Structure 1
Amino acid sequence: MKIHNKAVDVSSIALGLILAFLSVQSVAEEKVDIGKREYDGACAVCHGISGKGDDGPLKAMLVKPVPNLTVLAQNNKGVFPFDKVYQIIDGREEVKSHGPRDMPVWGNAFNNQTSLYFDNYPQQDSESAARSRILALVEYLYRLQQ
């Protein structure tokens, strides 16, 4: 009788391990595009889902035309202007050569909001999460380039 119970126990454990492996594998295969999620949550309302500035729901309410974010590199001699894009999104340090501040200051917003994807260490330092969110967003904009 004990032999039979051990066999059942071993097969139950083996089945449990197989199911656990499959669930871990499916979670590992599900990748979260943090940059795209940040873009969809903060930018798409003006710049549109495509980034071309042609289909954002707030487009009609804006005074100035919305820039096409897919041609940033093309408009900069083929080089994606990473630092400039980062500074414009962050917005906390005014860059006089960029002209007036037409876009919301996302650096403050990201600093004051919690993030589902970035833990702040130490807990009092939300700046690291704000920087990480902006970096993910800039990287996503880089991927949108034509």
Structure 2
Amino acid sequence: MTHLPLKVGLAALALFSLGACSAYAQSIGEQEYVNNCASCHGEGGMGDGPLANLMTVPVPDLTVIAANNDGVFPMLEMIQVIDGRTGIRGHGYPMPVWGQQFQADAADVAGPYGSELMVRGRVLELAEYLASIQQ
């Protein structure tokens, strides 16, 4: 019984850490979005970015992905679309192949295996952010 306060304190610390990690991950995903996606998809993800009018195909509203999929956010499909290296390309090819771009960015720093981990992390961060902005 004397260890109960210690256990409660450790549990609270763990919950706080998980919340902090989640907030940190969302801020990284949001930063990735702002840096790489907002120019076309818009700051709020509604397809109204400053470059949207220059696209040859309509820029989709990213806030209704789940609504257009029976209320379920298709995480794996979004990861594949963002990455673009698996043959699933975003909206008819004007979207950059982010997996390839992210890998080029990381290759000198992390080598071939480490750069792939970095690519997957960045793509997952973006997909998680998109899941968080669903209406």
TM-score with structure 2 length normalisation? 0.73
* Counterpart residue type for residue 106 of structure 1: W
* Counterpart residue type for residue 108 of structure 1: Q
More helix by share: 2
Question: In structure 2, what is the equivalent of residue 44 of structure 1?
Answer: 38
Q: Is the radius of gyration larger for structure 1 or structure 2?
A: 1
User: Whole-Å Cα distance in 2 between the matches of residues 45 and 95 of structure 1?
Assistant: 21
- 1:49-70 CA-partner distances (Å, limit 9, x unpaired): 000012x111121111110000
Question: In structure 1, what is the equivalent of residue 131 of structure 2?
Answer: 142
1:19-98 to structure 2, matched below 5 A, reads: 31=24, 33-54=27-48, 56-95=49-88
User: Whole-Å Cα distance in 1 between the matches of residues 78 and 61 of structure 2?
Assistant: 13
User: Whole-Å Cα distance in 1 between the matches of residues 104 and 24 of structure 2?
Assistant: 26
Q: How many residues align?
A: 109
- 1:21-48 CA-partner distances (Å, limit 9, x unpaired): xxxxxxx8x9571000000011001000
Q: Evaluate the alpha carbon distance shift between residue 99 and residue 43 of structure 1 in structure 2; reply closer, same or farther with a 3 A threshold.
A: closer
User: Whole-Å Cα distance in 1 between the matches of residues 93 and 57 of structure 2?
Assistant: 12
Q: Among 109, 112, 115, which residue is 1:126 paired with?
A: 115
Structure 1 runs of 4+ with >3 Å offset: none
User: Whole-Å Cα distance in 1 between the matches of residues 54 and 98 of structure 2?
Assistant: 19
User: Whole-Å Cα distance in 1 between the matches of residues 91 and 119 of structure 2?
Assistant: 23
User: Do the aligned partners of 2:40 and 2:59 also contact (CA within 8 Å) in 1?
Assistant: yes
User: Do the aligned partners of 2:57 and 2:92 also contact (CA within 8 Å) in 1?
Assistant: no
Quick one: percent identity of the two aligned structures?
A: 47
Q: Which runs of 5 or more structure 2 residues have no equivalent in the other structure?
A: 1-19
Q: Which runs of 5 or more structure 1 residues have no equivalent in the other structure?
A: 1-27, 115-119
User: Whole-Å Cα distance in 1 between the matches of residues 30 and 59 of structure 2?
Assistant: 19
User: Whole-Å Cα distance in 2 between the matches of residues 128 and 83 of structure 1?
Assistant: 16
Q: Among 101, 111, 118, which residue is 2:103 paired with?
A: 111
